[in-house]
């Protein structure tokens, strides 16, 4: 597990949509936009599941994910391992959070990602370089 730097955390602020890639055991990839996400701490991210269908099917088979984003302060690719929460305290906290910011939505589950790697996606010679 790695700890996100202040620069990486700062770059996420204001990013409305991140993109999460998953893959089935049959190597069928899926990339989906995610708007309801937050950092839980320097090592984990939560993504609230309102509409995940193919993503959830893939996560049932393969928990490895990649997230990519770009905002005003740059962007990164984050890789990690996902755990799906449906009937526990993590899920209950997710429901409370989503209801407080988007009352019309009801989460189906909470996906917690343990961050394992971070890569640069900045244009130039640093593109693709492992940061953490």
Return per-residue pLDDT of the chain as tens, 132 residues: 899 999 999 999 999 999 999 999 999 999 999 999 999 999 999 999 999 999 999 999 999 999 999 999 999 999 999 999 999 999 999 999 999 999 999 999 999 999 999 999 999 999 999 999
Tell me the backbone φ, ψ of residue 9, rounded to 5 degrees.
-60, -40
Q: With residue 95 as reference, give the H or E element that holds it.
A: helix 89-101
Domain range summary for the chain, segments of one domain joined by +: 6-120
| pTM of the predicted protein model | 0.95
Predicted pLDDT of residue 1: 82
Predicted pLDDT of residue 111: 99
The DSSP result for 54-74, as a single string, is HHHHHHHH--EEEEEEEETTE
So what CATH class is 6-120?
mainly beta
């Amino acid at each position: 597990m790695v700890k996100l730097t202040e620069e990486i955390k700062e770059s996420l602020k204001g990013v409305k949509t991140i993109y999460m890639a998953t893959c089935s055991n049959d190597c069928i990839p899926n990339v989906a936009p995610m708007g309801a996400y937050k950092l839980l701490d320097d090592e984990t991210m939560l993504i609230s599941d309102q509409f995940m269908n193919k993503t959830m099917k893939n996560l049932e088979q393969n928990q490895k994910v990649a997230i990519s984003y770009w905002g005003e302060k740059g962007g990164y690719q984050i890789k990690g391992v996902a755990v799906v929460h449906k009937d526990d305290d993590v899920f209950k906290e997710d429901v409370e959070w989503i209801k407080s910011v988007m009352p019309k939505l009801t989460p189906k589950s909470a996906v917690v990602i343990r961050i394992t790697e971070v890569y640069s996606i900045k244009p130039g010679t640093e593109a693709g370089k492992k940061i953490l």
